[in-house]
Amino acid sequence: MHTYGTARINKEGHLEIGGMDVVSLAEHYGTPLYIYDVALIRQRARAFKQTFEQLGVTAQVAYASKAFSAIGMVQLANQEGLSLDVVSAGELYTAMKAGFPAERIHFHGNNKSREELIMALEQQIGCVVVDNFYELELLEALCNDRGEQMNILLRVTPGIEAHTHDYILTGQEDSKFGFDLNNGQAEEALKKALEMKRVKLLGLHCHIGSQIFETTGFTLAADKVIQKLADWKNRFQFEAKVLNLGGGFGIRYTEEDKPLEPAKYVEEIIKEVQLKTTELNLAMPEIWIEPGRSLVGDAGVTLYSIGSEKDVPEVRKYLAIDGGMNDNIRPALYNAKYEAVLANRVNDPVEETVSIAGKCCESGDMLIWDLPLPKAKPGDLLAVFCTGAYGYSMANNYNRIPRPPVIFVENNQAELVIRRESYDDLVKLDLPLNVTVKQ
Ligand SMILES: *Cc1c(COP(=O)(O)O)cnc(C)c1O
């Protein structure tokens, strides 16, 4: 078993996280159950922040809350002094309900609505990351109507696409996000923003992808953006105060993944930025980063109970669990791979290879193919590792299956941060039919 954070095998042979035996957690909270190792989240957050401090660089580490947005999680991010990225009014609302300081909230998205921008203005958030010309003009007009100002970054696409293991340099980046840096759009946006009275341009933002394992993509992107900044300093006397280099730092899901320590990415990126800005005679900007997955991904475990099985002789054995694509759509959505153990018998010898099926009416609802396990029986517990990012946040009610609860564990204590959805919750938006049919 690869161990993440505080995960251990205790003397009963049970998986233990944050000092809590997951078998007892399953008895108390039921399954499926999302468990977060809070100490590991804190450790990651601190490592990012310390890296900036050690290099003497002013920074904001913004948690990309789309990875897992909940009031408790946002409060944890605040405890650790992180900033917060939101990509919708719903995530902003969650942040407000959590009492998160508005000035450290950044609003992302390629199609923010008028209502969303108004909400950002009402809450006086720290920054809107402007994605396109429509938004730039809409935001300036809304600020004008309200007699307010708003800090902005322009999101640019540097023409580097990270395909997890390699990078494609494209002249004309084919992406729905941001202003293209190569074809003049970014420069046009810059000129427009500089002429505007209400929006205050702090700098640029770029985010090249997700689950990236090497630093090359980041440093290539940083180089291109800084080169452009040097050009804009000469031609428009524009000097960026902030350079936001996004998130996307990869984590280990299975042994195929070989990431760096999350903070190591940051170290290499900053060094490149320092080198390049010095070379081009630019002041070192404040650096913002936006980790999502690398803050919470490997801190999350999903605990399931095993139920039925189906043996297809000579082909494979399916073991079904009490969750699936409802609580983790990533395998079905993009073939994501996971590791898992029998949490109540971790030390038992592996006896067979099974495939873990979800309970949804969908053949594609498979969680893990070809998992080596001891012989499991109904009621055994399966712990799937690394489900902390894009698990709960993508959970859904397909087949009207209630969403599982989320607990935080730390220092031998467990705390419920999202309760289990009830059947009443499931029908609470439904209205009875008023129309009657004449017989
Ligand atoms: C999704 C996203 C992130 C976070 O990505 P991770 O891979 O979870 O670190 C950061 N910034 C932007 C703009 C994003 O869209």
Among the three residues 256, 291, 326, which one is the final residue of a domain in this structure? 291
Burial of residue 310 (number of CB atoms within 10 Å: 0-12, 13-18, 19+): exposed
Residue 245: inside a domain: yes
CB 126 within 8 A of CB 105: yes
Torsion over CA: 250, 254, 256, 261 (sign):
positive
pLDDT given at position 129: 98
- The CA–CA distances, whole Å, from 125 to 94, 128, 129, 148 equal 13, 8, 11, 12
Residue 235: inside a domain: yes
Q: 328: CA distance to ligand 1 center in Å? A: 18
Residue 146: inside a domain: yes
Residue 76: inside a domain: no
The count of other CB atoms within 10 Å of the CB of residue 438 is: 3
- Average pLDDT of the segment spanning 31-43: 98
CATH code of the domain in which 268 resides: 3.20.20.10
Closest CA to 88 of 63, 119, 61, 60: 119
The answer on 247 and 112 residing in a single domain is yes
| Catalytic positions, written as ranges | 361
Which parts are annotated binding residues for substrate?
A: 293, 330, 334, 362, 390
Task: Kindly report, residue by residue over 340-364, the tens digit of the pLDDT.
Answer: 999 999 999 999 999 999 999 999 9
Closest CA to 177 of 217, 206, 210, 140: 206
**Number of domains composing the chain:** 2
Amino acid at the residue 91:
E
Spatial separation of the C-alpha atoms in residues 30 and 78, rounded to whole Å:
29
The answer on 340 and 236 residing in a single domain is no
For residue 309, name the pLDDT band (cuts at 50, 70, 90). Answer: very high
Return the residue matching tokens 């996004």: 246
The answer on 303 and 280 residing in a single domain is no
Torsion over CA: 361, 362, 367, 371 (sign):
positive
- Which of 177-192 are b and which e, b meaning 16 or more Cβ less than 10 Å from the residue's Cβ? bbbbbbeebbbebbeb
Among the three residues 271, 291, 311, which one is the final residue of a domain in this structure? 291
* Domain limits for position 304: 8-37+297-427
For residue 170, name the pLDDT band (cuts at 50, 70, 90). Answer: low
Q: Which residues line ligand 1 (CB under 6 A)?
A: 64, 66-67, 85, 108, 207, 210, 246-249, 290-294, 389
**Between these two residues, 418 and 174, which has the higher pLDDT value?**
418
- Average pLDDT of the segment spanning 138-152: 98
Ligand 1 atom with the shortest distance to the CA of 129 = 13
- Average pLDDT of the segment spanning 258-264: 89
Which parts are annotated binding residues for pyridoxal 5'-phosphate?
A: 248, 290-293, 390
The answer on 336 and 264 residing in a single domain is no
For residue 159, name the pLDDT band (cuts at 50, 70, 90). Answer: confident
The answer on 287 and 150 residing in a single domain is yes
